[in-house]
Amino acid sequence: MTGPLKLRAVDADDLAVLAACLQDALVPVHDMRFLADERRFVLVANRFRWETLGGSVRGEGAAVDRGAGAYERVHCGISFENVTRVQTQGFSPAAAEDHGRLLEVLTILVDGDAVTLLFAGGAALRLTVDGIEVLVQDLGEPWPTLWRPRHPVEDELE
């Protein structure tokens, strides 16, 4: 069994590793905050533990028969430091209708002085930063799930 994740990114290469770990994480809009006085943007995600798979798995749809509790998810805290500006696309943390919405992380990109989280469905979060510093840490114990995120395009390539 793999222990809790605790990583720090300080450049684009590091951030690519974090993006892989956070792929398919579910982020409740109400669990995002910009702490302007601290120049920090924080969020809590429900992260799929890709690192526990140990090899490729094939199957129909999202469910793959590997037995009860074959996969795991865990809460994960993510902190972006040195943030000077926050922009959103496709959702608004302040909007009542988005308060209960879940966003699914596709990837994290770096473009100049910006870090952008891309979510399924066209939503995005762009953070303007004075240097990359991102901290990721699992919170609490993982729990079992029968559902593995599926990526049909990747499945076709295998």
Domain that holds residue 41: 6-52+67-157
Q: How many separate domains does the chain show?
A: 1
pLDDT at position 133: 97
**Mean predicted confidence (pLDDT) in 105-116:** 96
Decide if pLDDT at 58 tops 60: no
- Dihedrals phi, psi of 52, to nearest 5 degrees: -90, -5
**Do the domain assignments include residue 118?**
yes
Map residue 1 onto helix, strand or coil.
coil
**Do the domain assignments include residue 62?**
no
* 157 contacts: CB under 8 Å, gap ≥ 6: none
pTM for the model: 0.85
Nearest to 36 by CA among 118, 127, 152, 124: 127
**Do the domain assignments include residue 91?**
yes
**Do the domain assignments include residue 59?**
no
